[in-house]
Structure 1
Amino acid sequence: MARRALILVEGHPRGNGLRYVQAAQRLGLTPITLSADPVRYDYLAAEKLEAIRVDTDNLDALIHECSRLRATYDIAGITGFAGDDESVSATVGKLCRHFDLPGPNPASIERCCDKFVQRQLLAEAGVAVPAYRLAADATEAERSAAEIGPPVILKPALGSGSCGVRLCRNIDEVTEHTTYLLGGKHIWRSSPRILVEEFAQGPYYCAEIMGNEVLGISAAEFGRPPHFVFRECTFPAALTDDEYERIADVSLSCLRALGLGWGPTCIELRWTKRGPVVIEVNPRLAGSPTPQLVQLAYGVDLITEHIKLVIGDEWDLRRTHSQTAAARFLIPDRDGILDWIDGDSRAAVVPGVAEVKLYIEPKSPFVRKGDYRDWIGHLVAASPSSAGTEAILQRGVDLIDWSITPFPTLGE
């Protein structure tokens, strides 16, 4: 009998990739990664996992590779990771349709990944979103910002991980950031289009959804503006019953408006003076360490349950306990060479700390990007109360230290 395989399109270097592989193995599946550059994912070599180099932007090439694998394996399901290119999610949907396997609707995914189209569909459905405009150059961006009224957010119409996203407090900053985005430093995966939108101010929340069920809502804090780099994330958020219901209702309205509702979705919102305003709908599982937080808080393993859905099995989203789990991200305040970082082993044994993970090795160069790549590690903790979890996190963070030597300046 042929071994059952789970095909993973691309991976995730510092996030959920290894967890998907391990969950697949626990379910008796052979994980096989298809990637344009398998070397990106250290865990593939470390775990001696099968990986095949293939152009993952080429649907025909992926179909050919999966057809070849079917001669050896029983392909139980196909899934993948958005990473820094959310088009992977749509590609996975197309592969699933071709091979008659359970999967998301690729057309819905593509509409959702285009943030301008997403905004249009949500607004047409009566979902509260920030005021927005689409700009192709600096003149249009400046005019749009003036119409909306600064401060505004500028972001690529296609993208993820907060890459290229910036708060612009005046027209000069709009011009500056537009010049940066269009000047060749930002990597565009499609024709350059900039979304200019109102800065919706208020606490940030994210609804974690599987299928049409809101599993819970997290809260997060960002580092210093003008960028939006997560500093801390807590699950579940401290909300009143009414606040929870309003966010859940808006989130389910998003699914209906965008034709989603298969598999995982995470919906980002701000609680403003007019209530919950949708910032972004992501047709995928939230990045690491959110799945760990959900599992620590409620006992629901989102990754395992997602794989069950992918292979056509029944999932189980029942909560088995209730705690507060939180993650704190380690973010340096300067660029340079990381001389040393230590204390992670001490932090890992603090009671209540569930995980300490460092992303960067000593002697490595480090340059802040203003997005998720600014993290050099994270800590995860859980306890029966939010105050207890926060105290545990702080004890762990206080044990970790590092030194960065700034890059030499011209003339030194």
Structure 2
Amino acid sequence: MARRALILVEGDPTGNGLLYVQAAQRLGLRPIILSADPAQYDCLETESIEAIRVHTDDLDALIRECSRLWTTYEIAGITCAKEWVCARVAKLCRRFDLPGPNPASIERCCDKFTQRQLLAEAGVPIPAYRLAENAAEVERAATEIGLPVVVKPAVGNGSTGVRLCRDVDELAEHTTYLLGGKHVWRSSPKILVEEFARGSHYAAIIMGNEVIGIEAAGFGPPPHFVYSEGIFPAPLTDDEHERIADVSLSCLQALGLGWGPSCIELRWTKRGPVVIEVNPRLGGTPQPVQLAYGIDLITEHLKLVIGEEWDLRRMHSHIAAWRSLLPDRDGTLDWISGVSRAAAVPGVADVKIYVKPKTPIVRKGDYQDSLGCVFAVSPTLAQTKAILQRAVDLIDWSTTPFPTVGAGSAEQERQPQSGR
């Protein structure tokens, strides 16, 4: 009898992709990764993971490889850990008659302009927005909406290419970056210019049509939107929770979603919850939900992918929080210390470090900027915050700035600088 396998299209070797691999193994499945760059999964060699080179932006190539694998394995399901392949994975599931979301709904959701149109038509509160394809249209859109504005690619994720533009100079600079060949586009270059919605940031974590919980999150310094910290569940009143949940579920209805996981980002503004973005996938990390409620979202998602019934019941009710370790300058990472001491603090659930010493640190203003993350959990919010702060205070690192021609002495350029 052929062994049951799970096909993971473009996992993430250090993030959720690894969690999907481990969850598949716990379910008795053989994980097989299809990737345009299988070398990035060399770190999984000890897990006996098969990574196959495929042009994952080519649906026909994916169909051929899945058909080939079917001659050796029983393919139990196909899924992904990256948003940019979600629509192709949905089409693969449809092609091989496997459980999966509606491909058309995923495609509409992943195009942020189309998403905005559908939400607006359904009466969902969203920021004012315009679509632009050149610098003149970006400038005109910003004038019509009023500065400051958020400027982002119409297709993309992970805050890549997203920036708050507070004046005309920042607007021109970021437009030049996006359209001048530095930004890598996965579709035809189209820019979304949006009103900057001011207020606390939240994310509704949803599986199917059920709101599992709402997370509060914060960002690093502007003009970028790099997540710096989060609390799950968010400290909200019952009324605030209900209003965010109601708006989030109305997004699913407007976009034809409701199969599998989704993450809806909102801001609580003067007019209440305003939807910033709907993501047809799990949020950045599902770990806070598991720590707070005992629900393993990735395992439960995989059960749905392979046609089994999931279990979203809470095992307990704690407060989880996390803090991202964000560098405040570019340079070469000399060392990072205190990790084992931070991990040993009672109540610290995990300390993840994403980079190694001697690695060049070049901040891009997106999710790749983080050096690592610390997770804490306890029965109360105050206790969890105190545990997290104690652990973060134990971690330190040093970076040596890159040499700059004509900018001080060579000795100054080599001087390490620490930062938390």
Q: TM-score, normalised by structure 1?
A: 0.97
Aligned to 2:414: none
Name the Cα RMSD after superposition. Answer: 0.9
- SS at structure 1 position matched to 2:334: strand
* CA–CA distance in structure 2, aligned partners of residues 29 and 400 of structure 1: 37
Aligned-residue offset at 1:87: 2.9
Aligned to 2:143: 146
Aligned-residue offset at 1:97: 0.3
Matched, 1:338 2:333: yes
- SS at structure 1 position matched to 2:151: strand
Aligned to 1:364: 359
Aligned-residue offset at 1:19: 1.1
Aligned-residue offset at 1:102: 0.2
Aligned to 1:5: 5
Question: Given that residues 325 and 372 in structure 2 are in contact (C-alpha distance below 8 angstroms), is that contact kept between their aligned partners in structure 1?
Answer: yes
- The total of aligned residue pairs comes to 407
Aligned to 2:264: 267
> Per-residue CA shift, 1:318-353, capped at 9, x if unaligned?
001000111100001110011111111111111000
Aligned-residue offset at 1:203: 0.3
Aligned-residue offset at 1:287: 1.8
- SS at structure 1 position matched to 2:282: coil
Alignment equivalent of 2:223, drawn from 212, 219, 226: 226
- Structure 1 outlier segments of 4+, above 6 Å: none
Aligned-residue offset at 1:41: 2.7
> Per-residue CA shift, 1:192-220, capped at 9, x if unaligned?
11100000000000000000000000000
Aligned to 1:157: 154
The runs of 5 or more residues in structure 1 that have no matched partner are none
Alignment equivalent of 2:255, drawn from 258, 267, 283: 258
Question: Given that residues 330 and 363 in structure 2 are in contact (C-alpha distance below 8 angstroms), is that contact kept between their aligned partners in structure 1?
Answer: yes
- SS at structure 2 position matched to 1:41: helix
Question: Given that residues 13 and 44 in structure 2 are in contact (C-alpha distance below 8 angstroms), is that contact kept between their aligned partners in structure 1?
Answer: no
* CA–CA distance in structure 2, aligned partners of residues 117 and 110 of structure 1: 9
Aligned-residue offset at 1:250: 0.4
Aligned to 1:174: 171
Alignment equivalent of 1:314, drawn from 304, 309, 312: 309
- SS at structure 1 position matched to 2:377: strand
> Per-residue CA shift, 1:131-158, capped at 9, x if unaligned?
0001111111111101001111000000
Question: Given that residues 295 and 302 in structure 1 are in contact (C-alpha distance below 8 angstroms), is that contact kept between their aligned partners in structure 2?
Answer: yes
> Per-residue CA shift, 1:92-124, capped at 9, x if unaligned?
100000000000111111100000000000000
Question: Given that residues 25 and 31 in structure 1 are in contact (C-alpha distance below 8 angstroms), is that contact kept between their aligned partners in structure 2?
Answer: yes
> Per-residue CA shift, 1:284-310, capped at 9, x if unaligned?
01122xx11100100111000000000
Question: Given that residues 133 and 197 in structure 1 are in contact (C-alpha distance below 8 angstroms), is that contact kept between their aligned partners in structure 2?
Answer: yes
* CA–CA distance in structure 2, aligned partners of residues 81 and 378 of structure 1: 19
Match runs of 1:69-84 below 5 Å = 69-82=69-82
Matched, 1:117 2:97: no
Aligned-residue offset at 1:42: 4.3
Q: Which amino acid aligns with 1:320?
A: M
Matched, 1:215 2:212: yes
Q: Which amino acid aligns with 1:73?
A: Y
Question: Given that residues 102 and 257 in structure 2 are in contact (C-alpha distance below 8 angstroms), is that contact kept between their aligned partners in structure 1?
Answer: yes
Alignment equivalent of 1:136, drawn from 122, 127, 133: 133
Instruction: Provide the identity percentage.
Output: 75
Q: Which amino acid aligns with 1:58?
A: D
Alignment equivalent of 2:393, drawn from 356, 377, 398: 398
Q: TM-score, normalised by structure 2?
A: 0.96
Aligned to 2:86: 89
Q: Which amino acid aligns with 1:187?
A: V
Aligned to 1:40: 40
Q: Which amino acid aligns with 2:166?
A: R
* CA–CA distance in structure 1, aligned partners of residues 283 and 59 of structure 2: 25
Name the CA shift for 1:203/1:42 in 2 (closer, same or farther; >3 Å): farther
Greater shift, 166-175 or 316-325, is seen at 166-175
- SS at structure 1 position matched to 2:206: strand
Aligned to 2:294: 299
> Per-residue CA shift, 1:229-263, capped at 9, x if unaligned?
11101110000000001000000000000000000
* CA–CA distance in structure 1, aligned partners of residues 93 and 276 of structure 2: 29
